[in-house]
Structure 1
């Protein structure tokens, strides 16, 4: 709970200006019920006029230069070949705990994490995901193609056909194509919410997590196949011990790399548009 300390306040109103929900009124010494407890106010106040129970220290200048971060992004690769070395539970726990500073929408901090290291469970998830998505892809057939073309267009149909062909071909050749024999799977889930944005929170979390993992000499693979399959097959959520009222918003395979990428690879330049005066 955020509280004002009027004795220290010099009425600079920095906290009032920084509040994302305009919930602070310094003249009236009030904080209204719209407060989302993001603690921007406590972080910006240098006079200890906001209760300090949620601050953990002063900001210090880090030594990370822009070029260092650019190199980190360039060296990050998706890994699908993992070492047989297990990742210690305490390492995975600490990894997720440190990632709690990842941004969230409206500061809801609603994400939950389930870590699966049981090999038989991972294998079953692998099998069920392939079966579930194979069944889904096979709904694109001679009967449904005209309807898809009618309502979604030829381009969409072609992309669906391409995705179907690639998935089924790979599933035939590589039976571990979902979990890739990774030693651990992190499942990101949350209660369904009509107003929150747990899907966006999970996307932000996974992006940051892949970079943080690089610094710990871990490797990752964001896996959307499992997320899509879990929406179609409740057995997958049951395997993960995730309550029916919760939704899976992301999954990351994580482990130690068996192979090393020696070179950085170029990517195409993004399309950028400006709207200015």
Structure 2
């Protein structure tokens, strides 16, 4: 990360890229729209750290999939945010059963995670001359996390721009669509090749399970992330029979 912020630089995007289904779809979405796209991932002591190991393969295959994407896809940044695990007590950062809490949220909710992710990403974007952040937050088909809601993202966009004197834009292409529509969006963006990549190479399961390849991808099949992904794929497949 060497270049300085330059208001006159061509518009570019920094995609929050975890290695999961949603962020991979968002990456394809950004590659269709922006002349330069960089990616950023976070090692925060997550229980499913396997998602970090699949990221390079996904990036390599997306470059090979489309020459235009290859020309636009630039640097990847992996940031150490292990302090999140140090100050959190959640099922995403500890080996405990996934349950609902008294506040109505699942204990997979990591307080402040997306707020910190976006703040750090905005700092990297500033230095790299990028003026769009792209994230896979969604409040249509999700686990109820308050930091995935549209109001949160809009408020944070205002705060970041006030705090850095920028005109950064936060884009959330999945915000108002469900998982079935996310699968369909991926097919629209990259055809069957992108669907196959998402199935076989991305990782979403909270437990980090990659022992069995289901029709919807790898995972335990029981955690909330797997349930959403599997149900969405079944609806998508029903509308797109072979």
TM-score (norm 1): 0.24
TM-score (norm 2): 0.26
Q: Which protein is bigger by CA-based radius of gyration?
A: 1
